[in-house]
Amino acid sequence: MRSQLSILLRPFGVLYGAIVQVRNILFDWRIFRIWRSPIPVVAIGNLSAGGTGKTPLVDWVVKYYLSIGCKPAIISRGYRRESKGVKLVSDGHKVLLSSKDAGDETAMLAWNNPDAIVVVAEKRKKAAAFITRHYGQRSPSVLILDDAFQHRQMYRTLNIAIINAAEPFFDARMLPEGRLREPLKNIARADLIVLNKITDKKSAEPIINELEKTGRPIVQARSKIGEMVCFSGECNSSEEALLEQPPMLAFAGIASPESFIESLRSEGINVTAHRFFKDHEPYTAKKLRTIRQEADEKGLSLVTTEKDYFRMLGSPELIRIITARPCYYLRIAPDIIAGEAHLKAMLRDVVGKQAERKRTGSATPSRFSKLP
């Protein structure tokens, strides 16, 4: 059945791939204009539709810049947010919007990095214009574009692409047949490639060998399990208490929910039931009451992802439905196993070039006033 569906969808994938390539050619030939920000830009994105570990990497990059004394600003579309236009999610001191108006991933990044500026906008250059106007001489050192590998309208000083080592690489297909947003060969457009979610170094070697043909630096990473955070007020987050907890019901609305279950079980958490939803699928009271009812009947604690927690946090009434039982969310972070020094050097070089331009008085002139 799956193979028949794949055959039916293949022509649409071919058509989609052709449209994407024509668009890229128009950018390459400069028929479509690329706008430059006066603030240096780091773009982080992927070739596939979710599941690469992009958000944890954005979080890692933001934390690295903060650790070396730089003020970063995150620019995101705020996928599936209910607000419109340019919105300031965090002013670098206080989070101002909930996940309902900011998007779940964006809200999570803002709460986890209170010293970073966070802005959402459908058009990223308008977000950059807002940041420059709003902060003036206090403008951030670097703009970090979240999920922006395909967003070619804005020039980037450093272009980072992420590949998921746990997904098929050589047999990857274009949307809607597969999960690719654009052909794999376009990875060569990146300045640096992160091969993420490596579980077995030997099985990743063929992918690494293929990526090396691009001549781009390759960072190798895997997912690192962080802490289990209790958010019901009725559970104990100590390691000993977690292992003594009743079996758990895991639920998630992410691109690769299976990897979430594997992460829990690798930590000795006894997951006996699960409920999966589509990536970014909005939670409703009905869905959560169903989850709560099953947990009640089976005597299970509840566990979800950090992103799902922040999605629900935008609607406090949803949190109240499930928190009569012990509830946790699991934090995930990238664990860089090769190429960390190279990644840090390239990130430092971005802000170093900007400092040099300011020192010599050759900073790129602002064209924000010409924006519609």
Residue 273's domain is classified under what CATH number? 3.40.50
367 domain residue, yes or no: no
Checking if the pLDDT of 244 tops 80, the result is no
371 domain residue, yes or no: no
150 domain residue, yes or no: yes
How far, in Å, CA of 203 to CA of 234, rounded?
42
Q: What is the 3-state secondary structure (H, E, C) of the chain?
A: CHHHHHHHHHHHHHHHHHHHHHHHHHHHCCCCCCECCCCCEEEEEECECCCCCHHHHHHHHHHHHHHCCCCEEEEECCCCCCCCCCEEEEECCCECCCHHHHCHHHHHHHHHCCCCEEEECCCHHHHHHHHHHHHHHHCCCEEEEECCCCCCCECCCEEEEEEECCCCCCCCCECCCCCECCCHHHHHHCCEEEEECCCCHHHHHHHHHHHHCCCCCEEEEEEEEEEEEECCCCCCCCHHHHHHCCCEEEEECCCCHHHHHHHHHHCCCCEEEEEECCCCCCCCHHHHHHHHHHHHHHCCEEEEEHHHHHHHHCCHHHHHHHCCCCEEEEEEEEEEEECHHHHHHHHHHHHHHHHHHHHHCCCCCCCHHHCC
Predicted confidence at residue 370, as pLDDT, reads 27
Burial class (CB in 10 A: 0-12, 13-18, 19+), 159: buried
| 291 against 8, higher pLDDT | 291
Checking if the pLDDT of 240 tops 80, the result is no
372 domain residue, yes or no: no
Q: Are residues 305 and 319 in the same domain?
A: yes
Q: Are residues 208 and 256 in the same domain?
A: no
Q: Are residues 111 and 214 in the same domain?
A: yes
Predicted confidence at residue 1, as pLDDT, reads 54
| 361 against 246, higher pLDDT | 246
Predicted confidence at residue 2, as pLDDT, reads 59
- Provide the mean pLDDT of the chain: 89
Predicted confidence at residue 366, as pLDDT, reads 32
Q: Which of 62-66, 136-140, 313-317 has the highest mean pLDDT?
A: 62-66
CA 82 to chain centre: 19
Checking if the pLDDT of 33 tops 90, the result is yes
pLDDT tens track for 57-115: 999 999 999 999 999 999 999 988 999 999 999 999 999 999 999 999 999 999 999 99
Residue 255: pLDDT band (50, 70, 90) is: confident
Domain CATH for 103? 3.40.50.300
Tell me the whole-structure pTM to 2 decimals: 0.88
Predicted confidence at residue 209, as pLDDT, reads 96
Q: Are residues 41 and 17 in the same domain?
A: yes
Q: Are residues 185 and 246 in the same domain?
A: no
Q: Are residues 273 and 317 in the same domain?
A: yes
369 domain residue, yes or no: no
10: containing domain: 2-222+334-359
Checking if the pLDDT of 278 tops 70, the result is yes
Q: Are residues 145 and 263 in the same domain?
A: no
pLDDT tens track for 319-361: 999 988 899 999 989 999 999 999 999 999 999 865 545 544 4
Stretch 212-218: mean pLDDT: 96
Predicted confidence at residue 226, as pLDDT, reads 85
Q: Are residues 272 and 132 in the same domain?
A: no
Q: Are residues 338 and 238 in the same domain?
A: no
Predicted confidence at residue 268, as pLDDT, reads 85
| 4 against 34, higher pLDDT | 34
Q: Are residues 56 and 197 in the same domain?
A: yes
Predicted confidence at residue 26, as pLDDT, reads 96
368 domain residue, yes or no: no
Q: Are 231 and 319 in contact (CB under 8 A)?
A: yes
85 domain residue, yes or no: yes
Stretch 201-212: mean pLDDT: 94
Q: Are residues 51 and 128 in the same domain?
A: yes
Number of structural domains, the chain? Answer: 2
Checking if the pLDDT of 362 tops 60, the result is no
Q: Are residues 179 and 322 in the same domain?
A: no
Checking if the pLDDT of 233 tops 70, the result is no
364 domain residue, yes or no: no
